Amino acid sequence: MLEPLPPGTGIQVDFPCRESAALPPDCLQAIEQAVDEVVTAGSPSGYPMTDTRITVLEGSTTQAEPSEPAFLTATRNALGDALAQAGEVVLEPVMRIEVSVPQGQVGAVMSDLTARRGRIEQHDSLGLGDARVVAMVPLAEVLSYASSLRSLTGGRAEFTAEPACYRPR
């Protein structure tokens, strides 16, 4: 079973059936190994997995002598199917941008940030005719921001950017 977790939680693997499953220790280890391999390999599209709880609900066998390779394969297949059914949410890096700009050009800067899929977080007046705008903007939209800001303000604004978080695309 797969469940999404809050951002920043990471991967959690629960194995509540460990004690109740009538499986040999090497088969239980094979299940754990297969889960670790799938998590390390990432989602079906190749992105790293994060913020997901994986719960192994049961394990059983009908053969007289269960084999470790069979459990590796069965676990990989079951987890692959569960990932495909659950779908995925691709996250993108988001930057916190702080722009110092002359008061008369705040509207143009805010419009430009919004056009870059940015979300304005703060807008303050700094005095001496300057203002500060803080926005959260996807990294992909920030790569050409320096030249755009220079053109937009005639070189009278400056900005800083730092990684903030990851958000769904």
> Residue 93: what pLDDT?
93
Topology at the third CATH level for domain 2-86: Ribosomal Protein S5; domain 2 (3.30.230)
pLDDT, tens digit, 9 for 90 and up, residues 107-166:
999 999 999 999 999 999 988 889 999 999 999 999 989 999 999 999 999 999 999 998
- Stretch (H or E) spanning 137: strand 130-138
Query: By C-alpha distance, which of 123, 131, 136, 127 is closest to 167?
Result: 136
C-alpha 166/C-alpha 86 separation (Å) is 20
β-pair type (52-55, 11-14)? parallel
DSSP 166: E
Domain 91-168 has CATH 3.30.1600.10: no
Tallying the residues shown for the chain, one arrives at 169
Tokens for 67, please give them. Answer: 């084999």
C-alpha 160/C-alpha 100 separation (Å) is 9
Sequence spans of domains, the chain: 2-86, 91-168
pTM of the predicted model as reported, rounded to 2 decimal places: 0.70
